[in-house]
Amino acid sequence: MSALRGQLPIMRLAELSKRADVPRSTIKFYIREGLLPAGESQGRNQALYGPKHLERLALIRALREVAGLSVDVVGRVTRELDRGWEGDPFGQAMLAIHAPPAPPKSAEDAAELETLREEVREFLRDLPWTVDDEERRFFSDEIASDLLLVRRYLFPGFPVANLARTAQIAWLLSEAGFELVPGGAPAPIAANNDDLAQPVRLAILGTVLFERIFAALHRSANAMRSIRVAQGLEVPGA
């Protein structure tokens, strides 16, 4: 819990509960589950809490209430945060945001999925912005599973290479997303020993909220495109 040490403890549980707007029993639960470090003990049944506890509770609330993450997933994120630069809190959160893909239904599906995984990894590795193809391997596994469903339920034989334009647009959107952050997206640096909590909060909430906003804009765009195509109206470029 290094990020929470070395601070002046200043309030008792009742005040922490009031200021964080989190019930005392919930705070105790978070401490038991390891989401929040214990306060500084002042003898039997007394402990003092500091501003870092407030910050951590705000993070937990945001991850639960806004991003809709479960206590288990939030626990994985905070445990990684507590490991500091050794940890991977953002990766854990990304891993947790979507449910793991369903296992293949048959031996044939399993074999095709294995081939698809290799192909998707190669596809991602060849993108001009990829730094490390071992990084975030779960993304490629998720894409491979969805592509198998595309082949089974929509377009038989759909090739991985057909995702080239989609990947390019994902890169454009990541550029636009980083530009939306006032003052620029924070990039904490290990050598400076920068605190990771704030960038992780920003990255997780930003990912979840702007993904939802983008999905709604995209569905609206699809609806308008369908109407234009069906009615023979002009379909403008972007």
85 in contact with a copy of itself (CB under 8 A): no
21 in contact with a copy of itself (CB under 8 A): no
User: What would the x/- binding string for a copy of itself be over residues 99 to 128, using CB under 8 A?
Assistant: -------------------------x--xx
Contact 49, 12 (CB under 8 A): yes
225 in contact with a copy of itself (CB under 8 A): yes
Task: Select from 128, 97, 47, 106 the least CA-distant residue to 211.
Answer: 97
Q: Which residue has the tokens 């369908």?
A: 226
209 in contact with a copy of itself (CB under 8 A): yes
Report, in Å, the least distance between residue 165 CB and a copy of itself. Answer: 4
Residue 144 phi, psi (nearest 5): -60, -45
226 in contact with a copy of itself (CB under 8 A): yes
Number of residues that bind a copy of itself (CB under 8 A): 85
Report, in Å, the least distance between residue 228 CB and a copy of itself. Answer: 6
CA distance 167 to 50: 44
* Interacting positions 143-202 with a copy of itself (CB under 8 A): 143, 146-147, 149-150, 153-155, 158, 162-163, 165-182, 185, 187-189, 202
Q: Which part of the chain contacts a copy of itself (CB under 8 A), choosing from 22-30, 31-39, 42-50, 134-142?
A: 134-142
Report, in Å, the least distance between residue 40 CB and a copy of itself. Answer: 29
CA distance 156 to 143: 16
User: Cβ closer to a copy of itself: 8 or 102?
Assistant: 102
10 in contact with a copy of itself (CB under 8 A): no
Q: Which residue has the tokens 């904490």?
A: 188
129 in contact with a copy of itself (CB under 8 A): yes
Contact 199, 186 (CB under 8 A): yes
Q: What are the tokens at 32?
A: 């038991």
29 in contact with a copy of itself (CB under 8 A): no
Contact 89, 196 (CB under 8 A): yes
Strand pairing category for 40-41 and 47-48? antiparallel
The distance between the two most distant Cα atoms of the chain, rounded to a whole number of Å, is: 77
